[in-house]
Amino acid sequence: MSDRSVPSSVDASLQAAQEIQNRFVSDNLRRIFLLIYRIVGNVADAQDLTQEAFIKALQRQDQLKELDKAAHWLSRIASNTAIDFLRRNGKVNFCEIDGLIEPLTEPTDSPEQAVLRSEHRAHLEQGLDVLTERERTALLLRDVEGLPAELVAEQMNCSKATVRSHIANARIKFRRYMERSQRTSGRKRL
Amino acid sequence: MKHPNETQLALLAGGDLSLRERWRVRRHVSRCAECENDLQALRRASEQVRELAAELPKDLNWNRLAEEMQGNIRVGLAAGQAIAGFDKPAAIRRPRLGWNAGTVLACASVLFVLAFWANIPRPQAEHLAQALKRIAVHGIGNVPQQPALQQEDVVLEASSTDIEVQENGRTLSLMHPHSDGATVSVSMQGSAGVRFIDSDTGQVTTNKVYYAEQ
């Protein structure tokens, strides 16, 4: 009798652990996918990296001492995974920058075409495309994930001053983009 | 009145200015409508980024993608566990000589002994063989006692004055008294000899006695 109860209790605890794991994945999957997608800029890479981030996190779940910080911890793993991917592919160099504000670059399509062609969301997405990858990463980690600048700097392997300049630069570029597109939109309507 | 630059306003919009700088810029913004408008525009931009970040890419079938990712994550974790089993270091154990290595070592030892035996000179080989035989009979460290001489044994003795043959309690001496010095030799084959210069004649004289068993 007791011989049978031992494996069943083991099975039950394994099943419970599996359920917790599944819930952890489903609760955070969309948020983590979006974070990575906004950093790397395409769905296929974002899918692979999201899976990689979850596997890394769940393999190291014993390192997580406080469950209430799990979401923050997972975000950190995800952003590191995305940043490493960009580094590996030579898409971005997260080193120090010389100037505080880089000159505003024009988006590949003109704002007029963007506004006419797509809806509000596509328009905003194009606004993010104006940013360099390091500016976009810093902005997402700071404004979307809510990480303090010190942690963003740690994740991006930069100084805090560099990260602050990335964040400021990103906000200014995005604002200019939005204002310009609004003006263009207004002119089109007239 | 000096306006704060755009970077300072952008950092203030997200609460990223240092305490002192924040106080100074806020103080200016509270009295400057132009800067206040800039600050609000920057805050709106940050808000729009947050909204955008929460939206899925256009034309993406999220449910299908989510299912696919969840399945892949489960497979990845299972594969990781399987690989972890192989990565574990094997239990430390003392190196053991395998049967094959033992056989090779034994054959090499036999060949070495045979080669050594074939290459040593004949007398040494015989002497060695006798020594090994004695060791086999008596064991190492047990030197057999030399048998006491029997009365009927023959003793051959050479000295600077004579050569003596002793047998059955009787002694035969070959004297060479008139010599200034003599060279004495004995051999294991049963002979004793003396070479000396005879003081009477001045000739080199050799006396040699051989024992021959009858």
What are the pLDDT digits (tens) for B10-60?
A: 999 999 998 899 999 999 999 999 999 999 999 998 888 888 888 888 788
> What pLDDT does residue A1 have?
44
Q: Which of A81, A171, A178 is the mutation pick for testing B, counting most B CBs within 10 A?
A: A171
| In contact, B210 and B158? CB cutoff 8 Å | no
Boundary residue ending a domain (A54, A76, A91): A91
The overall longest dimension of chain B from CA atoms, in Å, is 153
DSSP B209: E
Whether A127 and A186 map to the same domain: the answer is yes
> In this complex, is the C-beta atom of B87 within 8 Å of any C-beta atom belonging to chain A?
no
Q: Cβ A174–B49 below 8 Å, yes or no?
A: yes
Whether A84 and A144 map to the same domain: the answer is no
**Which is more confident, B24 or B176?**
B24
What are the pLDDT digits (tens) for A139-176?
A: 999 998 888 899 889 888 889 999 999 999 999 999 99
Among A67-71, A130-134, A147-151, B144-148, which is the least confidently predicted range? B144-148
> What pLDDT does residue A104 have?
43
Q: Which residues of A touch B16 (CB under 8 A)?
A: 142, 149, 164, 167-168
> What pLDDT does residue A100 have?
36
Inter-chain contacts counted by CB atoms under 8 A, chains A and B = 111
Interacting residues of A127 by C-beta distance below 8 A, sequence separation 6+: A107, A174, A177, A178, A181, B48, B52
Range of the domain at B183: 154-210
Query: Within a domain: residue B12?
Result: yes
**Which is more confident, A28 or B136?**
A28
Boundary residue ending a domain (A30, A56, A91): A91
pTM for the whole structure: 0.56
Among A80-94, B10-24, B181-195, which is the least confidently predicted range? A80-94
**Distance between A158 CA and the closest CA of chain B, angstroms:** 16
| In contact, A178 and A127? CB cutoff 8 Å | yes
- Measure CA of the first residue to CA of the last residue in chain B; give whole Å: 146
> What pLDDT does residue B94 have?
59
Spatial separation of the C-alpha atoms in residues A130 and A72, rounded to whole Å: 27
Instruction: Indicate if the pLDDT at residue A64 is higher than 70.
Output: no
Share of chain A above pLDDT 70, in %: 72
Average pLDDT, chain B: 81
Spatial separation of the C-alpha atoms in residues B150 and B166, rounded to whole Å: 12
Span B85-111, average pLDDT = 74
Range of the domain at A53: 1-91
Q: Which residues of B touch A178 (CB under 8 A)?
A: 41, 44-45, 48
CATH number assigned to the domain comprising residue A4: 1.10.1740.10
User: What sign has the CA pseudo-torsion B56, B57, B58, B62?
Assistant: negative
Average pLDDT, chain A: 77
CB nearest to A139's CB, from B49, B56, B60: B49
CB nearest to A59's CB, from B16, B52, B77: B77
> What pLDDT does residue B109 have?
92
Among A95-99, A123-127, A186-190, which is the least confidently predicted range? A95-99
> What pLDDT does residue A55 have?
92
Whether A1 and A21 map to the same domain: the answer is yes
Give the total number of structural domains in chain B: 2
Which ipTM score applies to this complex? Answer: 0.70
Q: Which of B11, B53, B9 is nearest to A136 (CA)?
A: B53
Whether A104 and A157 map to the same domain: the answer is yes
B210 bridge partner residues? B191
> What pLDDT does residue A106 have?
45
Among A49-53, A63-67, B199-203, which is the least confidently predicted range? A63-67
> What pLDDT does residue A2 have?
47
> What pLDDT does residue A96 have?
42
Alpha carbon dihedral A85, A88, A92, A95, in 10-degree steps, equals: 110
> What pLDDT does residue A101 have?
40
**Which is more confident, B112 or B142?**
B112
Spatial separation of the C-alpha atoms in residues B46 and A146, rounded to whole Å: 12
Interacting residues of B138 by C-beta distance below 8 A, sequence separation 6+: B144
What are the pLDDT digits (tens) for B124-174?
A: 777 778 888 888 877 766 655 655 555 567 788 888 788 888 887 888 888
Instruction: Indicate if the pLDDT at residue A105 is higher than 50.
Output: no
CATH number assigned to the domain comprising residue A188: 1.10.10.10
Instruction: Indicate if the pLDDT at residue A188 is higher than 60.
Output: no
Q: Cβ A174–B70 below 8 Å, yes or no?
A: no
> What pLDDT does residue A115 have?
43
Q: Cβ B72–A140 below 8 Å, yes or no?
A: no
Whether A104 and A58 map to the same domain: the answer is no
SS3 B55: coil
> What pLDDT does residue B131 have?
80
> What pLDDT does residue A95 have?
42
Instruction: Indicate if the pLDDT at residue B179 is higher than 80.
Output: no
Boundary residue ending a domain (A91, A116, A137): A91
Instruction: Indicate if the pLDDT at residue B100 is higher than 80.
Output: yes
Query: Within a domain: residue B201?
Result: yes
Interacting residues of A32 by C-beta distance below 8 A, sequence separation 6+: A50, A53, A54, A74, A75, A78
Give the total number of structural domains in chain A: 2
> What pLDDT does residue A103 have?
40
Whether A134 and A181 map to the same domain: the answer is yes
**Which is more confident, B145 or B76?**
B76
